[in-house]
Amino acid sequence: MTRRCELTGKLPLSGQLRSHAENKTKRKFRPNLVNVTLISDALSRSVKLKISAHALKTVEHRGGLDAFLAKAKSEDLSPDCQKLKREIAKVNAEKTAAA
């Protein structure tokens, strides 16, 4: 399985190490992935995800997992996160309809 962020879709990039003598050696730039458990306020449950440290910082900045998923593009998300986004949207729609 590819080392890919489930929220932002960040993938490993390839590049080169360059020595002082300008020798080129292939290398990989891998995203800094961490296993985290985030809590969805709308669903009242926790979700385990493998996301990049940058995505974790963005989730905190936007005010939680629900707010991040509401603003995120569906094509960047993993299939599990797309399903989670639909569930949260459904719950939020029911709350606004009831109010």
- Mark out the alpha helices in 1-99 (DSSP H runs): 53-62, 65-71, 79-98
Confidence (pLDDT) at 98: 86
Confidence (pLDDT) at 2: 80
Torsions phi, psi for 14 (to 5 deg)? -110, 155
* Low-confidence stretches of the chain (pLDDT beneath 50): none
Comparing CA positions, the residue from 75, 68, 66, 43 lying closest to residue 54 is 68
Per-domain residue ranges of the chain: 13-98
Assigned token pair, 24: 């080129």
Read off the pTM: 0.86
CATH architecture of 13-98: Roll (2.30)
Confidence (pLDDT) at 99: 72
Confidence (pLDDT) at 1: 63
